[in-house]
Amino acid sequence: MKKEKSKPIFVLQILLNAQILYICISKNKNEYLNMKLLEGKVAIITGASRGIGKGIAEVFAKHGANVAFTYSSSAASAEALEAELNSLGVKAKGYQSNAADFNEAQTFVDAVLADFGTVDILINNAGITKDNLLMRMSEADFDQVIDVNLKSVFNMTKAIQKTFLKQRAGSIINISSVVGVSGNAGQTNYAASKAGAIGFTKSVALELGSRNIRCNAIAPGFIETEMTAKLSEDVVKGWREGIPLKRGGSPEDVANACLFLASDMSGYITGQVLNVCGGMLT
């Protein structure tokens, strides 16, 4: 006859199993939380003295990446970011470099290679707006936005291409915009630059995929940074209300998508556009 366990022993055994299960779950949870997706990698981020670029630099450094970033004129913010990132135990350096200038982009990449030894990830983030109705838009405002937002993507990709080809690896992420997909009244220059970045992304993915170089674009929606702080409170309220998730995005929201596309977690993804827009563009 099968011998029944006494009730106290049975209860004790359940408690013991529950405790073992709890220890296993919390250990895995901590391991998951401490998992660094970019340990030892070197990332270039253009335009990281503030806004989305700064958010990407912070998330990347927390995930173990060494960060070389550029800025246009915000030297003090760049210096502060450099110190903040270095305090996280990674190597970080800010460089004043105009991404729109072909020669400056090459000089910057050469300096990064001399300082860091290699580069694994390129984030083309630097961007500006000069909004106006087409009727009032000057040629200079059209050209400047195309140069900073689109020509810069060409400049930086050209400058890094040889390094990525040699190491047969690399992840390029171009920060486009939902308006590059949908268009936007008052932003012909900006929308054209961002649509151009998507075409460039897909072409690079096709050209360099056989060398294990991936190229993807992120299309942020309404992200609350200095760029969008120029808008009136009414416009901002309207944007927020129209977004299915009912809020503007944060630089960290975009940075987390970059983290995925930069890491080996996205090893089979190239030539894609990832909308980070709270459902604005479906």
Point out the residues that are catalytic.
Answer: 190
* Sheet containing strand 42-45, strands side by side: 92-96, 66-71, 42-45, 121-124, 170-175, 213-220, 273-276
CB of 114 to ligand NAP, least distance (A): 20
Kindly write out the interface string for residues 15-44 of this chain, putting x where it contacts ligand NAP by CB under 6 A and - elsewhere: ------------------------------
Note whether 182 binds ligand NAP by CB under 6 A. Answer: no
Candidate ranges 16-24, 56-64, 66-74, 160-168; the one touching ligand NAP (CB under 6 A): 66-74
Binding mask 206-235 for ligand NAP (x = CB under 6 A): --------------x-xx-xxxx-------
In 3D, which of 220, 206, 213 has the Cα closest to residue 267? 213
Examine residue 189 and tell whether it contacts ligand NAP (CB under 6 A): no
The answer to whether the CB of 67 falls within 8 A of the CB of 45 is yes
Which residues is 273 bridged to in the sheet? 217
Going 197 to 202 to 206 to 211, the CA torsion angle's sign is positive
Q: Which range of residues in 29-37, 67-75, 161-169, 205-213 is near ligand NAP by CB under 6 A?
A: 67-75
At residue 257, what is the residue type? Answer: A
| 72 near ligand NAP, rule: CB under 6 A | yes
Binding mask 123-152 for ligand NAP (x = CB under 6 A): --xxxx-------------------xx---
Cβ atoms of residues 206 and 271 within 8 Å: yes
Least separation in angstroms between residue 112's CB and ligand NAP is 14
- 93 three-state secondary structure: strand
Least distance to ligand NAP, CB of residue 149, Å? 6
* Distance from C-alpha of 232 to C-alpha of 43, rounded to nearest angstrom: 35
The verdict on 47 binding ligand NAP (CB under 6 A) reads yes
Six-digit token string for 111: 């300096």
Interface of this chain with ligand NAP, residues 84 to 113, rule: CB under 6 A: 98-100
Categorise residue 273: left if φ over 0, alpha if ψ from -120 to 50, beta otherwise: beta
List interacting residues with ligand NAP (CB under 6 A).
46-53, 70-74, 98-100, 125-128, 148-149, 175, 177, 220, 222-223, 225-228
